[in-house]
Amino acid sequence: MMSLAEKAVTSVYKTNEVLRRHAAPIFESEGISAQQYDVLRVLRGAGGHGLPAQELGSRMLQNTPGVTRLLDRLESKGFVTRRRPDIDRRLQLCSITTAGTELLESLDPRARKNARDFLSVLSKDEVQTLMQLLQRTW
């Protein structure tokens, strides 16, 4: 028999999967994955200076070993650029392009609506409590 903690963790996993299924069509409609959207979101937040590829991976919502592949795909679509600074050629700085920013701007309203719709069964106070409880586990 599952403990209460196991049941709670199972519920979190299930909720994550349902949320990912609801969100996937939003990103797929523009030819990108949820992970690629996450990369673009992080790079937009980093501003014009960009981020080292290693730091990018640590800021993503989902830890993934395939950051280089994600960047390859996004770069081939013109959504990100990578450069090596003269000071340290080992470093690879990643930045979002204008096209990447425009893509995010077109996706953001749909992603926000998806989040609102997904949590519409909860009151604002319940959403706040949910966030506080989940953030304790990080």
Give the C-alpha separation, 37 to 110, whole Å.
12
> In the prediction, which pLDDT does 123 show?
97
Contacts 24+ apart (CB under 8 A), 28-37: 30/103, 30/106, 30/107, 31/77, 32/73, 32/74, 32/77, 32/79, 32/103, 33/70, 35/60, 35/62, 35/64, 35/70, 36/70, 36/73, 36/74, 36/79, 37/104, 37/107, 37/111
CATH 3.30.70.100 assigned to domain 4-135? The reply is no
> In the prediction, which pLDDT does 92 show?
85
Q: Are 79 and 40 in contact (CB under 8 A)?
A: yes
Handedness of CA 29, 68, 50, 84 (dihedral sign): negative
What is the block-wise mean pLDDT of the chain (138 residues), using blocks of 10 residues? 94 94 94 94 91 88 85 96 80 93 96 94 96 92
**Which of 113, 109, 108, 115 lies closest to 130, judged by CA?**
115
> In the prediction, which pLDDT does 72 show?
95
> In the prediction, which pLDDT does 104 show?
96
> In the prediction, which pLDDT does 49 show?
84
At residue 84, the 3 state secondary structure works out as coil
Q: pTM of this prediction?
A: 0.87
Tokens of 84: 């090596």
> In the prediction, which pLDDT does 62 show?
81
> In the prediction, which pLDDT does 9 show?
94
